[in-house]
């Protein structure tokens, strides 16, 4: 049963479903209008672009964990490959769309090859084994990226120019006076174009994934997740399907990496490859709701907001308790992950379907 | 040929082969130093890996929080050593060793207690549910790492090393760090103790049987859940002991120590085969040796070399070199 | 409540596996002593019945009474401790353990009664021969013998055996028949089978299960004599009619 398809559900019009759609609609509107709503707020636009990219990244991870029951820790590795491929090409070939195309393609190809290798090598064994292998692979990639400094810039990463078309000096439209045209007071320059490039690419990728999970392939994947032995008995080639979806998710993650590299004009181990990103993805997909696709949107937005507001809240609490031993240390805003981690554990115990899953009335994930 | 190799030790010859091969590439005195370092490192990794492997084998639980026990063990040992600084730096060898043993004991005790808490509170509700298990133990790992940061701060901490274990023994022109010898011997002692418990006692028999077929152990009338908690505590205690020894070895520790070691631990467990301590020992020695030889030959390839080792072994034997369950 | 001469009684037992309903009210009376057979084709619910008795799967409703104990909700180890041994279809041998260690696990205090051991060696000489060899090296028939030896290394009141003849050579099956006759002198055996010829040569009583329900119970002799009844009950798949 896919989350969005069944028409009887609409006849019942459950309140939870409406809430989810309303939240997603609001998020969608904000993201569509972000350059105008957040005009002048550089940081705000940055968060909006990051949300777009992470929705793709998290949704592609949901293909694995939610729809197929595969736990991989190599997702940032694929993300990083896309980003580094683009970054290295932009650095070497100079700013141009051909560099993005060539570097991105190379990154995606690397991701695909690695995914095939890892998949064929270890998807036939237990889920836990696979988790370990991917974790080991991802760590090695991280070390390689920081050590092969001639190519990757090492710990410092790479800083590079992106195509001139995306620079603030580019005028998308010129007004009567020859200056850049404005819409609602916002100049229609290359920065706006870059945001919409990211937003539309992310939207297309997200819709492709929604299409995939609602296709016959999605049904097969869920059959495998629910009962591997039975799926195999019916005649599905479980390893082949799993490898295929693992490769697909890897490619999409790499594509998200390209977007990240173009937006940031920077690629470094911390920014696109670190284990912290993997933790973020994991938290986002579980909080949002595994196996729902739409949960990716909710999870990413909540985590992004939490990173700002939870820290403020903790700062206030730390100040209030400054006289006590250890407590202020635990409430230090740098320790926000501590509380999020606790929240995460409780969520996995009591609401394994996540926010979207719970509201959509999908049962707990088995 | 095949049977001759098997009679000589089969896969146990692999570390020997690695050693002999590198002997041609590295000057002998350096090779000896590296080999001792590799064996010592292997033994410390063995401490961390054997518990994980046994817990996995018996309970089908992969505890990602395991690395937190390693980190906690390291920091607790560092704190105890710091508190006993007069013993540590004093001239009395007995007090030196006593301080280190106390530090290791404190870490190990903490590991056992934390293991008990982990099994009862964190893991028990999600037995048989791999996905949630991975998520919950991952969440617990995040919390534990943050706790370490909150308690000890984010800065590297210096670990005072007992004076008697400081320095090296010179044999000919080969310098052997005393601490490495100590670490190796301790690891070896733990391995022998584990081996004897598993092979010679009824509890050990039950654990080995449980690794193969939990259901049948229950059908024979044994309460498997009691075994679970015992093994979980022992495995966590060993991880903390490994962390404590590693702290003394590194002399400077950071909160990411556990996470860094965990990669090697996973590689060891995968290479060795899940659920067997012989496999863990074999894998740990191979990883320790490879890491040290490669660090000398091609410094940048140190971690990647172990990864390649793992991939090669997985291609050859998908269940590891010495899996507990005979396929 | 008296068991009235029955070793084990199942009363309207329902068992589900996930969303699948496997047993739809199994009622069964296993008399004290002798070999009793539960016959049925693949998927009829034979294995589920045994696993439900052992507490490895839980009955959704109904009652299971062993002697005077209601074991319906008991934990598997406690059920085993009451004196029930279980030989699963896959035999449940610990391949990494030696033959000796496999048997030692099943003995109450980890030591062996010399007399019992000698009788087991007489029944299955291979056990003595491979005593200190790892069990994974045994042949299929020898593994089955080990599984049964393990079940009788202590005196049990009831032994549940799931399809012991599956995949075994006729000569081994004949040895099995003799062994079961011997074992049944001191205990009750509930045997699950598809092989009617094997079942007929051993069973005192027989119950036929189909689609999660008991469709026939009675003395084995009665079923063995009544060709028409056999055809009706067993035409489903049993090897007797090949």
Band the pLDDT of C1: cuts 50, 70, 90.
Answer: very low
Tokens of residue B294, six digits: 């490669």
Comparing CA positions, the residue from C206, C164, C210 lying closest to residue C183 is C164
- A356: exposed, middle or buried (Cβ count in 10 Å: 0-12, 13-18, 19+): buried
- Cβ of B146 within 8 Å of Cβ of A341? The answer is yes
Query: Residue C236's pLDDT band (boundaries 50, 70, 90)?
Result: low
Contact A124 B311 (CB under 8 A): no
Is B132 close to A365, i.e. CB distance below 8 A?
Answer: yes
Mean pLDDT confidence for B270-287 = 90
Q: How far is B308 from chain A (nearest CA, A)?
A: 10
For residue B221, give every residue at least 6 positions away whose Cβ sits within 8 Å of its Cβ, in sequence order, or none: C77, C78, C80, C81
Q: Chain C contacts of B199, Cβ < 8 Å?
A: none
Has residue C76 got a pLDDT over 90? yes
Determine whether the interchain pair B209/C106 forms a contact, defined as Cβ–Cβ distance below 8 Å: no
Average pLDDT, chain B: 87
Q: Quick check: B170 pLDDT over 60?
A: yes
**What local confidence, expressed as pLDDT, does residue B49 receive?**
94
Distance CA A94, CA B286 (A): 45
C113 inside domain: yes
Domain that holds residue C131: 6-241
pLDDT of residue C3: 41
Residue scoring higher pLDDT (A228 or B263): B263
Residue C242, pLDDT score = 38
- At A126 the pLDDT is 67
- Burial class for C235, CB neighbours closer than 10 Å (0-12, 13-18, 19+): exposed
Rounded CA separation B88/B98 (Å) = 9
CA contacts within 13 A on the Cβ side of B57: 33
Q: Does B142 touch chain A (CB under 8 A)?
A: yes
Cβ pair B314:A121 closer than 8 A = yes
In this prediction, residue C228 carries a pLDDT of 83
Residue where the block lists tokens 């000698």: C118
Q: What is the mean pLDDT of residues C144-151?
A: 94
User: In which element (H, E) is residue A187 found?
Assistant: strand A186-187
**Which band of pLDDT confidence, cut at 50, 70 and 90, is reported for residue A13?**
low
Structural domains of chain A, with CATH: 7-359 (1.10.3470)
Pick A337's closest partner by Cβ from B142, B304, B314. Answer: B142
How close, in Å, is residue B324 to chain C by CA atoms? 7
Whole-number average pLDDT of chain C: 88
- pLDDT score of B298 more than 80: yes
DSSP string covering A17-75, please? Answer: HHHHHHHHHHHHHHHHTHHHHTTT-HHHHHHHHHHHHHHHHHHHHHHHHTTT----S-H
Structural tokens at position A45:
């636009």
**Chain A within 8 Å of B158 (Cβ-Cβ)?**
no
> Considering CB atoms only, which of B205, B216, B326 is closest to C104?
B205
Which H or E run contains A295? helix A294-320
Residue A148 to residue A141: CA distance in whole angstroms: 10
pTM: 0.83
Mean pLDDT over C41-63 rounds to 91
- Choice among A119-128, B114-123, C220-229 with the minimum mean pLDDT: A119-128
- Partner-chain contact B221 C56, CB within 8 Å: no
Contact call for A329 and B151, based on CB within 8 A: yes
- ipTM of the complex as predicted: 0.89
CB A160 within 8 A of CB A137: no
Residue C87 lies in a domain: yes
Please compute the mean of the pLDDT values over residues C68-85 and round it to a whole number.
93
Q: Which residue has the tokens 């970054």?
A: A87
Would the pLDDT of A48 be above 70? Answer: yes
- How many domains in chain C? 1
Closest by Cβ to B311, choosing from A121, A147, A352: A121
Report for A132-141, A175-184, C49-58, C218-227: range of highest mean pLDDT = C49-58
User: Mean per-residue pLDDT for A300-313?
Assistant: 82
Of chain A, the end-to-end C-alpha distance in Å amounts to 14
- Residues in chain B, total: 327
Interface size between B and C, measured as CB pairs under 8 A:
61
At A255 the three-state DSSP class reads helix
In chain B, residues with a C-beta closer than 8 Å to the C-beta of A329 are 150-151
Across B61-71, average pLDDT: 89
Integer Cα distance of B207 and B204 in angstroms: 5
Which DSSP string do the residues of C142-174 spell out, in sequence order? HHHHHHHHHHHSS--SEEEEE-TTTT--HHHHH
Task: Give the pLDDT score at A135.
Answer: 84
> Taking CB atoms and an 8 Å limit, are A140 and B304 in contact across chains?
yes
Q: Residue C214 and residue C208: Cα distance in Å, rounded?
A: 6
**Chain B residues touching C92 at Cβ < 8 A:** 213, 215-216, 219
Q: pLDDT higher for C160 or A70?
A: C160
- Find the residue in C nearest to B324 (Cα): C96
pLDDT digit string, tens, across residues B16-45: 888 888 888 888 888 988 999 999 999 999
- Tokens for A170? 């580019």
CB contact under 8 A, B142 and A133: no
Chains that touch A (3 or more CB pairs under 8 A): B
The closest alpha carbon to A123, from A115, B270, A142, B54, belongs to A115
Q: Is the pLDDT of residue B283 over 70?
A: yes
Tell me the pLDDT band of B132, cut-offs 50, 70 and 90: confident
Which chain B residue shows the shortest CA-CA distance from C83?
Answer: B221
Residues of A in contact with B136 (CB under 8 A): 345, 348-349
Q: Please report all neighbours of B, defined by 3+ CB atom pairs within 8 A.
A: A, C
Assess if residue C61 is contained within a domain: yes
Q: What is the DSSP string of A147-182?
A: H-HHHH-GGG-EE----GGGSTT-BSSB-TTSSBPE
pLDDT at C125: 92
From the list B202, B221, B326, which residue is nearest C77 (CB)?
B221
DSSP per-residue string spanning A122-152: HTTS-HHHHHHHHHHHHHHHHHHHHH-HHHH
Tell me the CATH number for domain B14-316: 1.10.3470
For residue A310, pLDDT over 80 is answered with: no
Q: Has residue C162 got a pLDDT over 50?
A: yes
Contact B208 C97 (CB under 8 A): yes
**Cα–Cα–Cα angle for B105, B111, B114, rounded to 5 degrees:** 140
Query: Alpha-carbon torsion A202, A205, A208, A212, what sign?
Result: negative
Contacts of B259 in chain A (CB under 8 A): 275
Give the mean model confidence (pLDDT) for residues A65-86: 91
- The C-alpha of B161 sits at a distance from chain C's nearest C-alpha, in angstroms, of 42
Q: Is there a domain that residue C1 lies in?
A: no
* Strand stretches in chain B, DSSP E: 157-158, 168-171, 174-177, 252-253
**pLDDT at position C208, please?**
92
Q: Map residue A270 onto helix, strand or coil.
A: helix
Query: Is A282 within 8 Å of B130 when comparing Cβ atoms?
Result: no
Question: What is the pairing mode between strands C213-219 and C69-70?
Answer: unpaired
Question: What's the pLDDT score for residue B8?
Answer: 65
User: Who among B209, B219, B222 is closest to C94 (CB)?
Assistant: B209
**pLDDT band with cut points at 50, 70 and 90 for residue B327:** very low
What's the rounded Cα separation, in Å, for the pair C121 and C118?
Answer: 5
Domain boundaries, chain B: 14-316
Q: How confident is the model at residue A12 (pLDDT cuts 50, 70, 90)?
A: low
Instruction: Tell me the per-residue pLDDT of A257-271, one tens digit each, with 9 for 90 and over.
Output: 999 999 988 988 888
Contact yes or no for A136 and B266 at CB 8 A: yes
B1 touches chain A (CB under 8 A): no
Q: How far is C53 from chain B (nearest CA, A)?
A: 11
From chain C, pick out residues whose CB is under 8 angstroms from the CB of B216.
Answer: 88, 92, 94
| B209 near C CB under 8 A | yes
* pLDDT reported for residue A46: 87
Mean pLDDT, chain A, rounded, equals: 83
**Model pLDDT, residue A365:** 40
Residue that the structure tokens 């022109």 belong to: B173
Give the model's pLDDT for residue B183.
92
What is the model's pLDDT at position B307? 80
For residue B129, list chain A residues with Cβ-Cβ distance below 8 A. 366
């Amino acid at each position: 049963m896919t989350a969005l398809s069944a028409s009887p559900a609409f006849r019942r019009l459950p309140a939870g479903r409406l809430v989810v759609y309303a939240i997603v609609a609001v998020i969608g509107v904000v993201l569509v209008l972000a350059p105008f709503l957040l005009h002048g707020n550089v940081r705000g636009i940055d968060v909006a672009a990051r949300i777009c990219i992470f929705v793709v990244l998290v949704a592609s991870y949901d293909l694995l964990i939610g729809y197929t029951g595969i736990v991989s820790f190599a997702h940032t590795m694929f993300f990083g490959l896309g980003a580094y491929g683009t970054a290295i090409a932009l650095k070497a070939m100079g700013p141009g769309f051909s560099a993005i195309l060539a570097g991105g393609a190379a990154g995606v190809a690397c991701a695909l090859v690695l995914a095939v290798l890892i998949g064929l090598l270890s998807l036939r064994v237990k889920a836990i084994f696979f988790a370990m292998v991917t974790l080991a692979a991802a760590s090695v990639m991280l070390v390689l990226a920081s050590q092969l400094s001639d190519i990757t810039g090492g710990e410092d990463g790479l800083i590079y120019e992106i195509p001139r078309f995306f620079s603030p000096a580019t005028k998308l439209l010129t007004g009567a006076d020859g200056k850049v045209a404005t819409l609602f007071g916002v100049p229609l320059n290359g920065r706006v174009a870059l945001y919409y490039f990211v937003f539309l690419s992310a939207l297309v990728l997200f819709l492709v994934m929604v299409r995939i999970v609602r296709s016959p392939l999605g049904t097969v994947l869920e059959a495998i997740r629910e009962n591997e032995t039975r799926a195999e008995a019916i005649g599905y080639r479980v390893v082949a399907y799993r490898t295929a979806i693992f490769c697909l998710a890897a490619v999409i993650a790499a594509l998200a990496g390209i977007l990240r590299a173009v937006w940031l004009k920077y690629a470094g181990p911390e920014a696109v490859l670190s284990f912290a990103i993997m933790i973020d993805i994991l938290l986002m997909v579980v909080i949002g709701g595994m196996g729902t696709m739409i949960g990716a949107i909710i999870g990413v937005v909540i985590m992004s907001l939490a990173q700002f507001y939870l820290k403020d809240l903790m700062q206030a609490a730390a100040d209030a308790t400054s006289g006590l031993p250890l407590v202020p240390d635990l409430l230090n805003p740098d320790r926000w992950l501590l509380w999020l981690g606790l929240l995460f554990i409780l969520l996995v115990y009591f609401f394994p379907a996540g926010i979207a899953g719970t509201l959509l009335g999908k049962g707990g994930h088995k | 040929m095949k049977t001759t190799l098997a009679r000589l030790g089969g896969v146990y010859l692999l570390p020997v082969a690695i050693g002999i091969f590198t002997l041609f590439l590295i000057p002998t005195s350096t090779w000896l130093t590296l080999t001792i370092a590799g064996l010592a490192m292997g033994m410390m990794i063995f401490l961390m890996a054997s518990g994980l492997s046994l817990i996995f084998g018996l309970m089908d639980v992969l505890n990602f929080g395991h690395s937190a026990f390693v980190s906690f063990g390291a920091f607790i040992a560092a704190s105890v050593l710091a508190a006993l600084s007069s013993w540590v730096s004093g001239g009395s060898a007995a007090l030196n060793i006593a301080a280190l043993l106390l530090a290791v004991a404190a870490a190990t005790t903490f590991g056992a207690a934390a293991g008990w808490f982990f099994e009862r509170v964190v893991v028990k509700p999600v037995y048989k549910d791999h996905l949630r298990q991975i998520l919950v133990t991952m969440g617990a790992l995040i919390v534990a790492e943050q706790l370490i940061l909150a308690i000890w701060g984010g800065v590297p901490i210096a670990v005072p090393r007992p004076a008697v274990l400081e320095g090296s023994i010179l044999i000919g022109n080969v310098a052997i760090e005393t601490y490495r010898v100590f670490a190796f011997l301790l690891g070896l002692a733990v391995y022998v103790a584990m081996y004897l418990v598993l092979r010679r006692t009824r509890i050990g028999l039950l654990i080995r049987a449980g690794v193969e077929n939990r259901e049948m152990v229950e059908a024979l009338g044994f309460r498997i859940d009691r075994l679970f908690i015992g093994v979980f505590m022992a495995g966590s205690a060993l991880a903390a002991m490994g962390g404590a020894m590693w702290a003394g070895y590194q002399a400077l520790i950071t909160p990411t120590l556990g996470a860094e070691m965990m990669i090697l631990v996973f590689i060891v467990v995968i290479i060795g085969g899940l659920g067997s301590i012989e496999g863990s020992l074999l894998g740990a020695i191979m990883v320790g040796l490879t890491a040290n030889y490669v660090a000398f030959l091609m410094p940048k390839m140190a971690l990647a070399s172990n990864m390649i080792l793992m991939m090669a072994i997985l291609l050859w034997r998908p269940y590891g070199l010495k899996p507990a369950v005979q396929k | 409540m008296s068991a009235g001469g029955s070793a084990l009684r199942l009363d309207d037992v329902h068992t589900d596996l996930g969303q699948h309903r496997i047993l739809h009210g199994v009622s069964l009376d296993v008399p004290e002593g002798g070999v009793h057979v539960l016959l049925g084709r693949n998927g009829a619910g034979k294995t589920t019945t045994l696993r439900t008795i052992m507490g490895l799967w839980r009955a959704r409703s109904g009652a299971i009474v062993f002697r005077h104990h209601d074991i319906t909700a008991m934990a598997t180890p406690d059920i085993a401790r009451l004196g029930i041994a279980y030989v699963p279809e896959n035999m449940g041998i610990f391949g990494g353990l030696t033959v000796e260690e496999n048997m030692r696990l099943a003995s109450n205090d980890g030591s062996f009664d010399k007399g019992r051991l000698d009788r087991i060696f007489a029944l299955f000489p291979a056990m003595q021969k491979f005593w200190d060899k790892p069990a994974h090296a045994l042949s299929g028939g020898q593994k089955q013998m080990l599984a049964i030896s393990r079940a009788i290394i202590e005196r049990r009141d009831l032994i549940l055996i799931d399809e012991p003849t599956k995949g075994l050579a006729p000569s081994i099956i004949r040895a099995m028949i003799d062994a079961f006759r011997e074992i049944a002198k001191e205990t009750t055996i509930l045997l699950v089978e598809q092989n009617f010829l094997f079942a007929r040569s051993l069973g005192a009583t027989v119950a036929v299960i189909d689609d999660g329900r008991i469709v026939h119970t009675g003395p084995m002799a009665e079923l063995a004599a009544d060709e028409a009844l056999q055809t009706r009950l067993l035409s489903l798949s049993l090897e007797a009619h090949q």
